[in-house]
Chains A and B, each alone.
Chain A
Amino acid sequence: MSWSQSDLVAAAYSVVFVFVLVYVAIIAAKLARLQRETAELVELARAKSRADA
Chain B
Amino acid sequence: MGVALVLALIIAPEDADQGISQRIFYIHVPIALTAYFCFGLGAFKALLHLWKGDERYDLESYVAIHQGTIFGALTLITGSIWARASWGVWWTWSSNQLVLFLVLFLFYCAYFMLRFSLEDGPRRARSSAVYALFGVALIPVSFLAIRLAEDFIHPTVFTRDGPQMSATMFVTFVVCWGAVTLLAYVLYRVELAGKRLDANLRELREVLQ
Residue ranges of A at the interface with B (Cβ–Cβ < 8 Å): 3, 5-6, 8-9, 11-13, 15-16, 19-20, 23, 27, 30-31, 34, 37-38, 41, 44-45, 48
Q: Does B47 contact A (CB under 8 A)?
A: no
Chain B CB within 10 A, most for which of A5, A9, A19, A45: A9
User: Chain B: how many interface residues by the 8 Å CB criterion?
Assistant: 31
Per DSSP, chain B at the interface is helix
Contact B78 A12 (CB under 8 A): yes
**In the assembled complex, which residues on chain B have CB atoms less than 8 Å from the CB atom of A8?**
21, 24, 81-82, 84-85
Q: Does B187 contact A (CB under 8 A)?
A: yes
Cβ proximity bits B175-209 to A, threshold 8 Å, 1 near / 0 not: 00000000100010011001001100100110011
Contact B187 A23 (CB under 8 A): yes
A5 touches which one: B20, B31, B197, B204 (CB < 8 A)? B20
Known contacts A5-B20, A38-B201, A44-B205; 9 additional CB pairs below 8 A are A9-B20, A12-B27, A16-B27, A27-B194, A30-B198, A41-B201, A41-B205, A41-B208, A45-B208
**In the assembled complex, which residues on chain B have CB atoms less than 8 Å from the CB atom of A3?**
84-85
Q: Which residue of A lies closest to B84 (CB)?
A: A8
Provide the bound-state CA to CA distance between A48 and B84, in Å.
63
Q: Does B70 contact A (CB under 8 A)?
A: yes
Chain A CB within 10 A, most for which of B9, B24, B209: B24
**In the assembled complex, which residues on chain B have CB atoms less than 8 Å from the CB atom of A11?**
81
